[in-house]
Amino acid sequence: MRNSAPHYGTDSSAFGERLGALALKQTTQSIFSYGFYAGMFHDDPRYSVMGRQKNVGVRAIYSASRVFITQKNDGSQAVNWPKSAGIASAAAVDNAYYPPRDHGFAKGATAFGISLWTSALNNEIHEFIGDGLRLVKHNRSQ
């Protein structure tokens, strides 16, 4: 409706183009992060829920930190290069299918930052969604 980035327009075909671009970006990012770079760095960049055995603050910090810290295949901790490199690679590939108005380093850097932030938010959701569902289920059974 607002013709926000990527700038495909405001008609019904623009919605499809935006949806397709988002799906392609997410797929590209996943292939790079969880496939190519994970194998190259011998890391496991997937998020594993800590669970209710720790307090909320520890869990919140842990889940956000997993964007930057990951577990190597041998169990040790390491910088999450697969996640960062996968996001950067996907942002670079965006230029192949985004309109020219949305190309360039500044746009890619912004997309990179937003993707890091949304990855951290996604980890938070995964960490706490079970708590929310248990609370709702508990309240409905009373």
Residue 42 lies in a domain: yes
What percent of the chain shows pLDDT beyond 70? 93
Q: How many domains does the chain have?
A: 1
What pLDDT is recorded for position 3? Answer: 55
Each residue's pLDDT tens digit, 44-77: 888 888 888 888 999 999 999 999 999 898 889 9
Tens-place pLDDT, residues 102-123:
788 888 888 899 899 999 999 9
Residue 70 lies in a domain: yes
User: How much is the pTM?
Assistant: 0.78
- The answer to whether residue 7 is domain-embedded is no
Q: Is residue 5 part of a domain?
A: no
Residue 130 lies in a domain: yes
- Which pLDDT belongs to residue 1? 56
- 3-class SS letters over the chain: CCCCCCCCCCCHHHHHHHHHHHHHHHHHHHHHHHHHHHHHHCEECCCCCCCCCCCHHHHHHHHHHCCCEEEECCCCEEECHHHHHHHHHHHHHHHHHCCHHHCCHHHHHHHHHHHHHHHHHHHHHHHHHHHHHHHHHHHHCC
- Segments forming the whole domain that contains residue 45: 12-140
